[in-house]
Structure 1
Amino acid sequence: MNRRNVMKTRFAFYILAATILGAIFGHFFPEIGKDIKILGDAFIRLLKMIVIPVIVTTLLVGIAGIGDIKRMGRIGVKTVIWFEFITTLILFIGLAIANLVQPGKGLDLSNLPQADISNISANTSKVLDGSTLLLNIIPTNIIDVMAKNDLLAVIFFCIMFGIALVKLGNEAKPFVSIIEIASKASFQLVNMVMLAAPIGVFALMSATIGTYGIGLIIPLLKLIGTAYLGLAVVVFGLFTVIAFLLRVPLREIYKMVWDLMIVGASTGSTETVVPQLMQRLEKYGVPKYITSFVIPAGMPLNSDGTTLYLTIAGPFIAQAFGIDMTWSQQLMMVLFFIVTSKGVAAVPSSSMVILLATITAVGLPPEGVALIIGIDRIIDMARTAVNVFGHVFSCIAVAKWEGVFRKEPHPVEEQVAG
């Protein structure tokens, strides 16, 4: 094992150890666990600080690197088609598992505390209002949407600005060179921030367990187990089939990103591993202009783990409250999830916002969301890891579809450790 792989393994171990130790500390010292939440919040703020610089610079460099507007449009269409296909497929997998296992059946609701969902409720209107959602993709003030981490609006601006750069041709080269330097600097900034990851992860897990208690997990073990089962089906079932169809060894993919999945899971954020993921995919044979477009676009549009969890959590709430959903109601719920799961990545607790908006629309009690907020962090770890894995296959699928996988020269930057 070379030095780089040793560092990758060591960093992944540090993150995993911080997660476990944080849970233990929060259990035995709940008040202190709540108090040190500020360290976790500070780490999350650092992560959010670097998301926009990474996305903007990589997108602009990627679009300028394509150099052909028609080709860029073709890549964009193929990316969206893949996102919609895989999202819909995973939604139905989650629905099937929820109906088979029935994690909410026979649950004693009296044993479960209800969390405050007022902050989540405040954001549901923007999810259900489709016309407003479409309009909000077009920013009126690019600085404002960057400040709000509104990824879809930022991506839309970058695409339009990137097209303008392509039209300028050679005149744009000096500016693109500056953006490339900014992109490399953003990647270095990620490395600096990630040095604080073990501390941030420890504090976040301590605060979660200190606030809700390990005792909350026991009544909801069936939901947690069902969610993990569904995510395992996606990773070891669906992605195995996709790897076979794409003719890429699944073992190679696991080997390439296993440590990034641990980091993503422990931090609860895909953004923490985006730069490393791009670099490794470039080394694996996906051109930079593909990764620079597909991964940023996939962050708000293609979260495979989150998508799976939504169609497990929805039926769980119905089963917990003794509500028999007809197949037509469940189909309507899936259609709502297809729409509502787009464009709310910048909203805090976005998966809970999507869930609350959708179950309210199909007539399920919103109190159900309040019952499961306490364990969301535990499930979020696994679904974030699956989100990372899904980005890998999205990039490879689009590159294969374009016929450029391992066929075009691509720059390989030094792969970061961890």
Structure 2
Amino acid sequence: MKTRSAFYILGATVLGALFGHVFPEAGTAIKPLGDAFIRLIKMVVIPVIVTTLLVGITGIGDIKRMGRVGLKTIIWFEVITTLILFIGLAVGNLVQPGKGIDLSQLPKADITAIASNTSKVLDAKTLLLNIIPTNIVDVLAKSDLLAVIFFCIMFGIALVGLGNEAKPFLSIMEIASKASFRLVNLVMKVAPIGVFALMSATIGTYGIALLFPLLKLIGTAYLGLAVLVFGLFPLVAVFLSIRITDVYRMIWDLMVIGASTGSTETVVPQLMQRLEKFGVPTYITSFVIPAGMPLNSDGTTLYLTIAGLFIAQAFGIGMSLQQQLMMVLFFVVTSKGVAAVPSSSMVILLATATAVGLPAEGVALILGIDRVIDMARTAVNVMGHVFSCVAVARWEGVFQKGPVVLDGMAASSERGSLSS
């Protein structure tokens, strides 16, 4: 994917916002085009995850090694997620985006569809039990990512146990993986049209005027996300002995595309290819990135904490440190495995708000600006996948610093072995 694609999609985002503002009825009317694009993205998610996971797992070639990689991946996800949640708490308490908000100025969006999905994330026991699928065809049809990933891991273990007998099937999966990546690239051909329609519909429905009363929330969210991109991640880069500037150069255009489309799935093929050239083995990227889609969304994680505090502050509800820690604990649990649910971040927020005693109306108040903030948090999610892959590869001692990939080409960069 060439860099100009990022500019086309970004341009479509800006033009869509302007079109929706000037012609709100027309902007709302073309929403089906945006919905069609979202359906195309959802169409490619399962093929990409299943094929890349199976290729990655069988590529490890050893059950003990696979278990070690899997355990390190989960540990990294949980450590970084918890750290980011506390950063969100710090930013939200410092800026207090909900303080002084005039609730009468904010229209309430309909959250009926979102509320219908909250039962999926409130019960931790049920959530854990549902990871084990009773019918793989059913979970594939429902795009239940955690259950699909669990099945792929178990099936991959079985394939590894077969040894050479599994090679024909592995060859088929490798072909299917390449075809899935090609399918993503085909879908991205119409991304500017889909993004234009989505942004037009959002602005046409809610209006730009909705942004002004909530500018403090938007600014706080962007500030928190900037802390991750220019604060936390550079520190992680030092810890991993890589240059943060190399990471910026490698994926800035993918972050733009992810932000404009609101989906990390649209950049998975290019992200994996660039990480492999950067020095992360294929079996690591093929395992960590698909697993990270439902389990490791760094930008979304930070926004959830800020949004939770915003609701409490806007309604004048004082939350003690203990209550805030309880909210963080709920986010740790509820943020797993709902990536396939429409408006998943809002589902998580509504479920957690209900559980800790915050008014559900607060979610209705900020639903209209979710698209604006979603752009930034999706871009951060893309960067989070980079550090997850490098961290696991470094921990395994298999990371070999390669060239930085810029504009689809390998740009010269400092070389040398950096493996532990």
- State if a TM-score over 0.5 links the two structures: yes
The aligned amino acid for 1:337 is: F
The aligned amino acid for 1:290 is: I
After superposition, the C-alpha distances for 1:262-312 in whole angstroms (9 at most, x for unaligned) are 000000011111111111101111000000110001000000000000110
Instruction: Tell me the secondary structure at the aligned position of residue 307 of structure 2.
Output: helix
Is residue 76 of structure 2 the alignment partner of residue 82 of structure 1? yes
d(CA) in 1 for partners of 2:95 and 2:185?
42
Is residue 156 of structure 2 the alignment partner of residue 201 of structure 1? no
The root-mean-square deviation of aligned C-alpha atoms, in Å, is 1.5
* Matched-pair contact (CA < 8 Å) for 1:276–1:416: no
> Matched residues, percent identical?
81
The aligned amino acid for 1:200 is: G
The aligned residue for residue 323 of structure 1 is 317
The aligned amino acid for 2:132 is: I
d(CA) in 1 for partners of 2:119 and 2:56?
34
d(CA) in 1 for partners of 2:78 and 2:114?
26
The aligned amino acid for 1:272 is: T
After superposition, the C-alpha distances for 1:46-91 in whole angstroms (9 at most, x for unaligned) are 1111111111111111111100000000000000000000000000
Is residue 32 of structure 2 the alignment partner of residue 38 of structure 1? yes
Shift of 1:143: 1.3
Instruction: Tell me the secondary structure at the aligned position of residue 196 of structure 1.
Output: helix
The aligned amino acid for 2:346 is: M
Instruction: Tell me the secondary structure at the aligned position of residue 2 of structure 2.
Output: helix
The aligned residue for residue 345 of structure 2 is 351
* Matched-pair contact (CA < 8 Å) for 2:2–2:408: no
d(CA) in 2 for partners of 1:52 and 1:215?
38
Shift of 1:9: 2.1
**Distance verdict in 2 for CA 1:250–1:292, change over 3 Å:** same
Structure 2 gap ranges (5+)? 411-420
After superposition, the C-alpha distances for 1:344-399 in whole angstroms (9 at most, x for unaligned) are 11111110011011111111111000000000000000000000000000000000
Instruction: Tell me the secondary structure at the aligned position of residue 195 of structure 1.
Output: helix
d(CA) in 1 for partners of 2:204 and 2:323?
38
Structure-to-structure mapping, 1:223-302, within 5 angstroms: 223-302=217-296
The aligned residue for residue 3 of structure 1 is none
The aligned amino acid for 2:74 is: V
d(CA) in 2 for partners of 1:99 and 1:77?
33
The aligned amino acid for 1:39 is: L
The aligned amino acid for 1:372 is: I
Is residue 377 of structure 2 the alignment partner of residue 377 of structure 1? no
The aligned amino acid for 2:167 is: K
* Matched-pair contact (CA < 8 Å) for 1:359–1:366: yes
Is residue 47 of structure 2 the alignment partner of residue 53 of structure 1? yes
Q: TM-score normalised to the size of structure 1?
A: 0.96
The aligned residue for residue 334 of structure 1 is 328
Q: TM-score normalised to the size of structure 2?
A: 0.95
The aligned residue for residue 169 of structure 1 is 163
The aligned residue for residue 397 of structure 2 is 403
- Among 212, 224, 233, the residue aligned to 1:218: 212
**Distance verdict in 2 for CA 1:293–1:416, change over 3 Å:** farther
d(CA) in 2 for partners of 1:241 and 1:416?
27
The aligned residue for residue 3 of structure 2 is 9
Instruction: Tell me the secondary structure at the aligned position of residue 273 of structure 1.
Output: helix
Structure-to-structure mapping, 1:91-110, within 5 angstroms: 91-110=85-104
The aligned residue for residue 4 of structure 1 is none
What count of residue pairs does the alignment treat as equivalent? 407
The aligned residue for residue 105 of structure 2 is 111
